[in-house]
Amino acid sequence: MNSNSLRGLLLLPALLLAPASVEAHELKVFVSQLVADVGDSATVYLSWGHRVPVDELVDAASLERYDLLAPSGSSTALEAEGRSMQPNAVRFDTAGVHQVLARRRSGVYTIAHDADGNRLFLRGPKTEAGSDVRIDHGMRSRQTAKAITVVGEPSNKPLTPAGLPIEIVPLDAPSNWTSGAPVRFRVLVDGQPLTRATLLARDLGFAPANAWCYATSTDDDGVATVVPNRSGTWILKVNAKELADEKVRDEYDYESLTTTLVLEVRP
């Protein structure tokens, strides 16, 4: 798909990309400064749900990983406690790309119907749903989130994967993240490209707060291109569903894979 056809996607009506078509909430990481100088401090926080920048609070018990990855590759654990936005104050002591990474604990749930036909959301595998319900399907959810802060002059070098089981990786260097310029992203699942998946994007100021203004798809190499139409904070999301391995089909039928990325687009 060429850049002209991609630009046309910016005009898709918000209702076409509304969260009613999205099966699950998503985790997002936000940083108060996505473009910073060496020595700057910022606040990191998490959001759970559909609306941006804040929707529902995040339960610390749901998090498997929450840390700051420095350009050197060193990782600093961030604090998480109770139900909150899990705010942390961080300081950027070195130039380069700093990434905040978050990962939810994977969970299994079952969609079923009761005797009256009411749709039920049951936590746990199909084997624990009980005999008094009609099972529709079971799902294992895997979710990650990432935010990127560029400290100092934006690099001309592309980024490498941060090591999340599901992640969106910019293929173009931070110096190319500018308004009106195409930016390529690769979506990885367990290090392998996720092909033919829908990638959604929106800038933070887009309204309504629970919709997306841009949609495209990954190709056979897991690559999708986004052409941001304005500068500012941009949020990207991928939610894909794949058949589970036959060995676990008695417990769940599908894998739900969700990941988000937050970064800054320069003028």
Residue 5 has pLDDT above 70, yes or no: no
Residue 153, pLDDT > 70, answer yes
Q: Number of C-alpha atoms within 13 angstroms, CB side, residue 140?
A: 15
Q: What is the pLDDT of residues 176-202, one digit of tens each?
A: 999 999 999 999 999 999 999 999 999
**3-state DSSP of 233-263:** EEEEEEEEEEECCHHHCCCCCEEEEEEEEEE
How many beta carbons lie within 10 A of that of residue 98, not counting itself? 24
Average per-residue pLDDT in the chain?
A: 90
Q: 17 pLDDT exceeds 70?
A: no
Q: Report d(CA 150, CA 159) in Å as an integer.
A: 11
**186 vs 223: CA distance, rounded Å:** 4
Q: Longest Cα pair distance anywhere in the chain, in angstroms?
A: 62
In 3D space, the residue among 130, 129, 149, 147 whose CA is nearest the CA of residue 139 turns out to be 129
The pLDDT tens digits of the residues spanning 255-267 come to 999 999 999 999 9
The confidence score (pLDDT) of residue 106 equals 94
Q: Sorting pLDDT into bands at 50, 70 and 90, what band is 27?
A: very high
pLDDT band (50, 70, 90) for residue 88: very high
Report the predicted TM-score, pTM, of the whole model to 2 decimal places. Answer: 0.88
Query: What spatial distance separates the first Cα and last Cα of the chain, rounded to whole Å?
Result: 24
Q: List, for residues 202-216, the tens digit of each pLDDT value.
A: 999 999 999 999 999
Number of domains into which the chain is organized:
1
pLDDT score recorded for residue 6: 33
* Sequential DSSP letters for 185-208: EEEEETTEE--S-EEEEEETT-SS
Number of neighbours of residue 97 by Cβ within 10 angstroms = 22
Q: Which amino acid, 176?
A: N
Reported as type and span, the H/E element at residue 7 is helix 3-9
Type of residue numbered 228: P
C-alpha dihedral (154, 157, 158, 164), degrees to nearest 10: -80
What lies within 8 Å, CB to CB, of 247 at 6+ separation is none
Task: Please tell me the predicted confidence (pLDDT) of residue 221.
Answer: 97
Q: What integer is the mean pLDDT of 226-232? A: 95
What's the pLDDT at 13? 36
CATH number (domain holding residue 242)? 2.60.40.1930
Helix or strand holding residue 3 (H, E): helix 3-9
Q: Give me the domain span that covers residue 28.
A: 3-265
Per residue in 31-71, pLDDT (tens digit) is 999 999 999 999 999 999 999 999 999 999 999 999 999 99
Q: What is the dihedral angle through the alpha carbons of 250, 24, 214, 229, rounded to the nearest 10 degrees?
A: -130
Q: What is the pLDDT of residue 73?
A: 94
Q: Note the pLDDT of residue 201.
A: 97
